Amino acid sequence: MDELNLNQVARAARCWSGYRSANCSGTSDWSLHAVPDIGDGSTPGFVVRLGIPFVMSTASTVGLDALCEAAGPVRWFQLYMLQDRGLATALLARVHAAGFSVLELTVDTAVTGRRVRDIRNGFTLPFQWNARKLLDVSRRPRWALQMLRAGSPTLRLFAEAVGRVPSGSTITEVMQQQISNAFTWDDLAWLRARWPGKLVLKGVVTAAQTRRAVDAGADGVVVSNHGGRQQDGARSTIECLPYVVEAAAGRLEVLADCGFRTGADIAKAIALGAGAVQVGRPALFGLAAGGGEAGVCQAITILADEFDRAMAMTGATSVGSLRGRVEPGSMDAPSDRR
């Protein structure tokens, strides 16, 4: 057994973006979660105190100015590239002026996946009632009363950017109305020239894509499969991560997203070479179950505790010493897959 002094375990890590993460994690971008009054704006307060970045989504239910009041100094913005370049340029200028230092461009939604669950549940914008939804709401009176007071969630930031509230028979239809389906690697130079801060590409899953991201001047990539909602049967991000890390070769920061539900999951990604992990659903579960900031606080605290335990059980006393602690032969060699 390796000797380990638990008093010396340190889980903090500093990334190029200028933040010190308490558990090598940050919140992922969220869109259209129906927790009235305590939506996107309730989470930044706690993550700011931990030094964790809050990533604001283009599909946020809170306006830019409202979120900035709570987001603190470490602000990241997730961008869905708009079809209208003029509107996109205006949005970028506004985001930068609001103090966002990192732009996270989602690159895997030029075509939106067919989300059968949304169709089955009648997930539309604006929200439309039917007998099934009324029955569902009647079983959650507290939520229903909050929703009655606050109104249905809507794409407030999209409305600020394009001048109207988007609508459609499904959320997929709404997003396709707004997002460019013609944004290519060549167009990335246009975005790089207009964004003075750090630029991160979210949705990179192969070594070839990583090398192109380096050539395009990206500062980082997020290994992500969009929560498994885009391409059915796509490889998990933890499977793709080693190949991306190898291709990056230290030339840009590599983060991971999607499927990370515990602190031990985060530790696995760090051991495989990720600089940090973005978490979305765990924080959202805490938000919904805990009624606001207290719930998010508990969720992130649980992740941090689990991360500590995973580090201790592997004998790692720092994030640096955690890297590479993967059993030989447990995965195919990165060079075997391009």
Please report the domains of the chain, with CATH numbers, ordered by start residue: 6-109+200-326 (3.20.20.70)
Residue 155 is predicted with a pLDDT of: 77
Tell me the C-alpha distance between 24 and 14, whole Å.
8
More confident residue, 136 or 270: 270
Chain-centroid distance of CA 297 in Å reads: 17
- The strand pairing partners of 211, in sequence order, are none
| Residue at token pair 């790089």 | 192
pLDDT band at 33 (very low <50, low <70, confident <90, very high): very low
**What is the number of H-type helices and E-type strands within the chain?**
15, 10
Q: Which residues contact 48 (CB under 8 A, 6 or more apart)?
A: 54, 70, 71, 72, 73, 74
User: Which of 271, 260, 245 minimizes the C-alpha distance to 328?
Assistant: 271
- The strand pairing partners of 202, in sequence order, are 106, 222
Ordered alpha helix ranges (H), 107-203: 116-121, 131-138, 141-150, 156-162, 171-178, 185-194
Token pair recorded at residue 98:
């609001």
More confident residue, 229 or 187: 187
Tell me the C-alpha distance between 100 and 198, whole Å.
10
pLDDT band at 48 (very low <50, low <70, confident <90, very high): low
Mean pLDDT within 51-80: 80
Residue 74 in this model has a pLDDT that exceeds 80:
no
Tell me the C-alpha distance between 296 and 282, whole Å.
8
Tell me the C-alpha distance between 235 and 256, whole Å.
13
To the query of whether residue 96 is one of the catalytic residues in this protein, the response is no
More confident residue, 77 or 52: 77
Tell me the C-alpha distance between 164 and 172, whole Å.
17
Tell me the C-alpha distance between 225 and 129, whole Å.
31
Cβ atoms 56, 76 nearer than 8 A: yes
154: which DSSP letter? -
Choosing from 26, 226, 265, 282, which is the catalytic residue? 226
Residue 215 in this model has a pLDDT that exceeds 90:
yes
Cβ atoms 280, 227 nearer than 8 A: yes
User: Which of 222, 3, 195, 173 minimizes the C-alpha distance to 100?
Assistant: 195
Residue 19 in this model has a pLDDT that exceeds 90:
no
pLDDT band at 332 (very low <50, low <70, confident <90, very high): low
Residue 7 in this model has a pLDDT that exceeds 60:
no
Mean pLDDT within 234-238: 89
pLDDT digits (tens, 9 = 90+) for 118-161: 778 777 777 777 888 888 888 888 777 877 777 777 777 877 88
Cβ atoms 62, 157 nearer than 8 A: yes
Tell me the C-alpha distance between 275 and 262, whole Å.
17
Mean pLDDT within 211-232: 89
